[in-house]
């Protein structure tokens, strides 16, 4: 994995990589569904739908009960309700994954520049990062609505590379899903994946990445080992 030897920056995903946010999604979606007289669904069901942006998530949730026309009829009101409930509880039920802070400290300690790129709306992502003590680590934060296209499109990653004035080959992406890997491949960035997040119900081993790392700290140690060789 000599491709990590020249890494000078890292782009890190949020949901499923740094924070377990499914409990937040679960509460907000349960409250949204109650407004439509729909029964709650499980956190496991929600975890398999997370990662492609809020509208895709809510469409998938509605599709459990309605046909395509029924989803279309309700998506506007459902999005309004979901966003209202999510803003009420953003971060209250989410937790840091193990070794996230230690990993960020290690990456910064190696002199790497850090960006957070998430498909979560910017309005939610920045307060969440701040609440959990993560915001100071990042020079740049892009949400799913910050740019014309979101992951798995390479645009957010290429925008960070431009911000940092670095070639993609020197910017590693770290995430938990095929969205992150596809975006990185298309951008020309090396990519590492963690095995514990949300990958649309698929095993992370099926995702095309340059390595699976147990934690963010393990990612930092792997990068360091390649830079020392």
Contact present, 224 and 110 (Cβ < 8 Å): yes
Question: Which residue in 13, 20, 176, 180 is the catalytic one?
Answer: 13
Q: Token digits for 159?
A: 């925008």
**Radius of gyration of the chain from Cα atoms?**
18
For helices 22-35 and 54-62, angle between their N-to-C axes, nearest 10 degrees: 50
Active-site residue, 80 included = no
Which residues make beta-bridge pairs with 113?
A: 9
| Cα dist from 17 to 27, 51, 101, 162, 208, whole Å | 20, 11, 12, 23, 17
For the annotated catalytic residues, the residue numbers are 13
């Amino acid at each position: 994995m000599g491709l990590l030897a020249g890494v000078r920056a890292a782009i890190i995903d949020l949901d499923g990589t740094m924070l377990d946010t499914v409990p937040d999604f679960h509460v907000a979606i349960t409250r949204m569904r109650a407004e439509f007289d729909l029964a709650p669904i499980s956190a496991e069901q929600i975890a398999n739908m997370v990662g492609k942006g809020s509208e895709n998530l809510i469409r998938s949730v509605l599709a459990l009960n309605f046909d395509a026309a029924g989803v279309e009829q309700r998506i506007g009101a459902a999005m309004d309700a979901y966003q209202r409930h999510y803003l009420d509880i953003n971060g209250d039920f989410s937790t840091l994954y193990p070794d996230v802070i230690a990993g960020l400290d290690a990456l910064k300690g190696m002199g790497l520049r850090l960006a957070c790129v998430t498909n979560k709306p910017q309005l939610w992502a920045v307060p969440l990062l701040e609440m959990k003590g993560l915001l100071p680590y990042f020079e740049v934060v892009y949400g799913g609505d910050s740019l014309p296209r979101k992951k798995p499109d390479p645009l957010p990653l290429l925008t960070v590379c431009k911000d940092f004035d670095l070639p993609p080959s020197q910017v590693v992406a770290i995430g938990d899903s095929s969205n992150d890997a596809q975006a990185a491949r298309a951008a020309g960035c090396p990519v590492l994946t963690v095995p514990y997040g949300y990958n649309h119900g698929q095993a992370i081993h099926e995702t095309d990445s340059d390595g699976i790392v147990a934690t963010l700290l393990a990612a930092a140690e792997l990068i360091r080992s390649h830079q020392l060789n």
